[in-house]
Amino acid sequence: MKHDDVLKMMEEMGLPFAYDHFVEGESPEPPFLVFLYPKAANFAADGITYFKINQLDIELYTDLKNPDLEETIEAVLLKYGIFYGKSETWIESEKLYEVLYETEV
């Protein structure tokens, strides 16, 4: 999956989103999404990168737990055939929930 495909997928989730972070002072009200490629786990063969694999993290930020919104995001991931891991944390300093979807593209 190329970056343009990831952008299209993010748009289908129907929330404001940014790569890595929003510019300070321009962050929308929750809910919103942030995505990034924190590392690569490429497949090597014959001493070269045979197949590129990038980790893709999609972070959902909400001020209230929202299972319906999570289902919407997960339906888009399923539509694109993406397997994901999911975790959740409360960020006390921001008063926000972060639901993290970790996958590879």
Share above pLDDT 70 across residues of the chain, in percent, rounded to a whole number: 100
Q: Are 40 and 52 in contact (CB under 8 A)?
A: yes
**pLDDT score, position 29:** 96
**pLDDT score, position 35:** 98
Q: Tokens 């300070």, residue?
A: 24
User: What pLDDT digit, counting tens, does each position of 49-87 carry?
Assistant: 888 889 999 999 999 999 999 999 999 999 999 999 999
First and final C-alpha spacing in the chain: 5
**pLDDT score, position 25:** 87
In 5-95 the beta strands, taken as DSSP E runs, fall at: 17-19, 32-36, 43-45, 48-51, 55-62, 85-91
**Pairing mode of beta strands 55-62, 32-36:** antiparallel
